[in-house]
């Protein structure tokens, strides 16, 4: 089984709908991240969480919210989806206790907002 999973893998929705993307990990890592990737723009950080009670905004948090339900689960919500939120979304994890900032990525969710 994959260490970092994302659901759904693909989603097509309409403008104005509420969407939740979910991320789960079995790596036991304390830190979790949400990124979006657009062609030519690289990976941009939306939100990150260093533990269950610690949530931080990233570079492009407007229009998004997150919930860290447990150490292993980190969800990203689009309260009212708009077409420019069409992108590939990645969840990632890292482990503070490892002494490394290496991040491990999930398989991604391709979201299309019509």
Partner 1 sequence: QKEVEQNSGPLSVPEGAIASLNCTYSDRGSQSFFWYRQYSGKSPELIMFIYSNGDKEDGRFTAQLNKASQYVSLLIRDSQPSDSATYLCAVTNSGYALNFGKGTSLLVTP
Which residues of the shown chain bind partner 1 in the complex (CB under 8 A)? Answer: 33, 35, 40-45, 48, 56, 58, 88, 90, 96, 100-108, 110
Nearer to partner 1, 8 or 16 (CB): 8
**Distance in Å, CB of 42 to partner 1, minimum:** 4
**Distance in Å, CB of 7 to partner 1, minimum:** 14
Nearer to partner 1, 15 or 40 (CB): 40
Determine what percent of the chain falls in helix, strand and coil, rounding each to the nearest 5: 5, 55, 40
Burial class (CB in 10 A: 0-12, 13-18, 19+), 58: middle
Q: What are phi and psi of 81, to 5 degrees?
A: -65, 145
**Distance in Å, CB of 69 to partner 1, minimum:** 20
């Amino acid at each position: 089984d994959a260490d970092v999973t994302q659901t759904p893998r693909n989603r097509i929705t309409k403008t104005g709908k509420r969407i939740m993307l979910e991320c789960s990990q079995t790596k036991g890592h304390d830190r979790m991240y949400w990124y979006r990737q657009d062609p030519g723009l690289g990976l941009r950080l939306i939100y990150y969480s260093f533990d269950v009670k610690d949530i931080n905004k990233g570079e492009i948090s407007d229009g998004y919210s997150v919930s860290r339900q447990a150490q292993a689960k980190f969800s990203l919500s689009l309260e009212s989806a708009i077409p420019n939120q069409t992108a590939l979304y990645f969840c990632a994890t890292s482990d503070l206790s490892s002494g490394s900032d290496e991040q491990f990525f999930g398989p991604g969710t391709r979201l299309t907002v019509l």
